[in-house]
Amino acid sequence: MNFFCDSADSYYNCRERVSPGSLVYSSLLTTCEYFVFTSFIVLTLGLLVGDGPGEDAPAPTETPTPSTGLLMKSLEPTLLGAWLSEKKISISGWTEGSFTASSASYDQLPMGFNYLANNFLLQQNWLRFERAIDEKSSSPSWGFRSDTILPGSDYRFTVARGLWDSQLTDNQGGPATYGIDPVQFYGEVYLPQVGAGLDIKLGRFFAQFGVESIDTTQNQLASRSYTFIYDPFTNTGLLTTLKLNDTWSIQNGLALGSDVFIDPAATPTYLGSIKWAPPKGDTTVLFSTILGCGRYNTSQDFNNPQIFDLVVTHKLSEKWNYALEALYGFQDNVPDIGFANWFGIVNYLTYQMSDKLSTTARLEFFDDIQGQRTGYRGLYTTATWGFNYKPNDVFVIRPEVRFDHNDVSRPFENAPSLLTVALDVIVRW
């Protein structure tokens, strides 16, 4: 296993690769594993005991009827459509394709997800099954969500150790271009009488920090930042979100690790966040953390990063919105390095030109101090400008221009800089 990248290597080799196997736990927990368990139990119990039902409970309502997309509309006159409607279940998804013109000749790694240069990529065929919880009801409600990349090139970035990761060695020892990833699947319960509302998820879910998302429809721009790409994508375990009041909410969770499923590399990991979001305010603040042992697992060739992430959003006016993300990550015991750390600062400025068209500028500084994340040490400075056009409920069109520069290394096919012009199209169904 090579946990560094070179210019012709896949992104996954920057992370970790091992044949799938069963989960093996030692009979003796390490000190940091005890710390993770204790943090989760103490904080969760403290929140549950310290907060009673909200004073103004909303009137009971039914589980919300799912939104109707093209697929659900086509199913409406059928028996299956009637059954789905009765059970409050929706089926939806989208297809995303992109083309990136580049100053590189083969690929833009360590940039991703649109990593192929001068080439077309089918990045996501996304299939979603969902039964939404009802946060407006005074009675408990339950739901679930299943999201699958089926297939798409994005899978090679998001696939978890121990869950269909053999696809990463299908192509003569390297990743197949297109693959499948059940990127999110969980059951969910909502308890409105605990605090001002308690949500409990059990399964695999997106990492709970940052501005950008694996779900491409949630992003303003076609490409992703380094701060997003080189930090955890998903966690598998238990996650609680407790709403203290209309302004404050807190998350606590216990996971098997970051980007790992049922596998010997799994290790107990704490997830937590605190969010301040006044309902009538123009500013929100979210601080999130991932805490585990913080030591690279040499026996399994697997990363266990510690993450501290701050996101601040501010509505400047009716048309202008600003978001800031500041992230710091580290881990110890990295072969040939020892202590490795990195930080990212990402600025987003969005102008809503009309109901259908917006433009976003993103300025990022990502410092891979030892080169352990991207394979090349140095400060990456990236400027991106793009548009997000939604002519209707079906199509999203996102052109962008981007410039990347590393002040120390030459990561882009032996060049310090990279210029790309990308266009992606999303078709919802």
pLDDT tens, per residue, the chain with 429 residues: 222 233 223 333 343 333 323 322 333 334 344 434 344 443 443 333 333 333 333 333 344 444 568 888 888 889 988 898 888 999 999 999 999 999 999 999 999 899 999 999 999 999 999 999 998 888 999 999 999 999 999 999 999 999 999 998 877 778 889 999 999 999 999 999 999 999 999 999 999 999 999 999 999 999 999 999 999 999 999 999 999 999 999 999 999 999 999 999 999 999 999 999 999 999 999 999 999 999 999 999 999 999 999 999 999 999 999 999 999 999 999 999 999 999 999 999 999 999 999 999 999 999 999 999 999 999 999 999 999 999 999 999 999 999 999 999 999 999 999 999 999 999 999
Report pLDDT for 361: 98
Q: Are 285 and 311 in contact (CB under 8 A)?
A: yes
> Would you list the domain boundaries of the chain?
11-428
Token pair for residue 229? 């790409």
Cβ neighbours of residue 55 under 8 Å, at least 6 residues apart? Answer: none
> Is residue 8 helix, strand or coil?
coil
Place of tokens 């500013």: 283
Tell me the pLDDT tens digit for each residue of 410-425: 999 999 999 999 999 9
Report pLDDT for 341: 98
Q: Are 363 and 331 in contact (CB under 8 A)?
A: no
In 68-168, at which residue ranges do the beta strands (DSSP E only) sit?
Answer: 90-102, 119-131, 141-152
| 3-class SS string, 206-242 | ECCCCCCCCCHHHCCCCCCCHHHHCCCCEEEEEEEEE
CA dihedral (411, 303, 249, 186) positive or negative: positive
Give the phi and the psi of residue 168 in degrees, each rounded to 5: -75, -5
DSSP states of 19-65 as a string?
--------SS--HHHHHHHHHHHHHHHHHHHH----SSPPPP-PPPP
Tell me the pLDDT tens digit for each residue of 317-370: 999 999 999 999 999 999 999 999 999 999 999 999 999 999 999 999 999 999
> Is residue 255 helix, strand or coil?
strand
395, 346, 396, 65: which is closest to 230 by C-alpha? 346
Burial bucket for residue 160 (CB in 10 Å: 0-12, 13-18, 19+)? buried
Q: Give long-range contacts, CB 8 A cutoff, 24+ apart: 332-335.
A: 332/294, 332/295, 332/296, 333/295, 333/296, 333/298, 334/3, 334/296, 334/370, 334/372, 335/3, 335/296, 335/298
d(CA 241, CA 239): 7
For 336, other C-beta atoms within 10 Å of its C-beta total 8
Residue type (1 letter), 193: Q
Largest CA distance in the chain: 63
The CATH code of the domain at 11-428 is: 2.40.160.10
189, 193, 286, 196: which is closest to 244 by C-alpha? 196
